[in-house]
Structure 1
Amino acid sequence: MNWDDALEIYDEIVESCNGFERKGKKMIYTSSNGYMFTLLIKNAEIGIRLPKDEAATFMEKHNTGHYYSYGAKMKDYVLVPESLWEDKKLMARYFEQSFAYVNTLKTK
């Protein structure tokens, strides 16, 4: 998928959620409580931060793996397969789940 399409989808997902907004101009992300919890990087890949057990379940259920940003493995992030992007309700639930998770962490 190209960058512009990925950005449009990401923005639609974020706009359908409550409590947070998209940030960034080149590196697109959401954050709360001092933590980023979703990312869209320049190669048009979306990553979501989840607790370890939920991340493992997500990766198994959706046949995906860890999320890498600029070659570095992002702790607690999963790569969201493009096949899920069009299901905006499901994606919004995962984004909101990630938002709830980072708000349980000690504030940075």
Structure 2
Amino acid sequence: MSKPSNEIPNRKLELYDKLIACNPQIERKGKTTPYTSLNGHMFSFLSKEGVMGLRLSKDDREVFIQKFNGNLIEQHERTMKEYVEIPSDLLEKTEELSEYLQKSLNYVSELKPKPSKKKN
């Protein structure tokens, strides 16, 4: 019996990278689980199943969920309260989704920076 692949579907990874490339302020991080962060706060990620999560403010979350009939994302059997699950068809619409990525960046830029855990 073959074991399940831990690789993200190529098409989803390409779409995520294309979205991130739209904003020169944002750098993609993570080798096995791609994500973006600012000041120690993650604000987007792509799960190993190819599902994108995006962190939004309360108001933006409510609008997003209403507009796209969306949900909060679940990871490891836990609901991530500030993250919405990006529908697959919206991940294909880079220009439209880039507006929400910017809202996400704006939101985390207002949060207090987390202290670095890197050792010197």
TM-score, normalization by structure 1 = 0.93
Number of positions where the alignment pairs a residue of Structure 1 with one of Structure 2: 107
TM superposition outliers: structure 1 runs of 4+ over 2 Å: none
The reply to whether residue 6 of structure 1 matches residue 12 of structure 2 is yes
Identify the residue that residue 105 of structure 2 maps to in structure 1.
Answer: 99
SS at match of 1:75: strand
Identify the residue that residue 69 of structure 2 maps to in structure 1.
Answer: 63
Identify the residue that residue 54 of structure 2 maps to in structure 1.
Answer: 48
| Whole-angstrom CA distance in 2 between matches of 1:46 and 1:33 | 20
**Aligned-residue CA RMSD in angstroms?**
1.1
Write out per-residue CA displacement over residues 15-48 of structure 1, whole angstroms, 9 at most, x where no aligned residue: 0113111100111100001100001000110010
Q: Which has the larger radius of gyration?
A: 2
Q: Name whichever structure is richer in strand by fraction.
A: 1
Which is bigger in relative contact order (C-alpha 8 A, separation at least 6)? 1
SS at match of 1:73: strand
Q: Which runs of 5+ in 2 are unaligned?
A: 1-7, 115-120
TM-score, normalization by structure 2 = 0.85
Of all paired residues, the percent bearing the same amino acid is 37
| Whole-angstrom CA distance in 2 between matches of 1:18 and 1:101 | 17
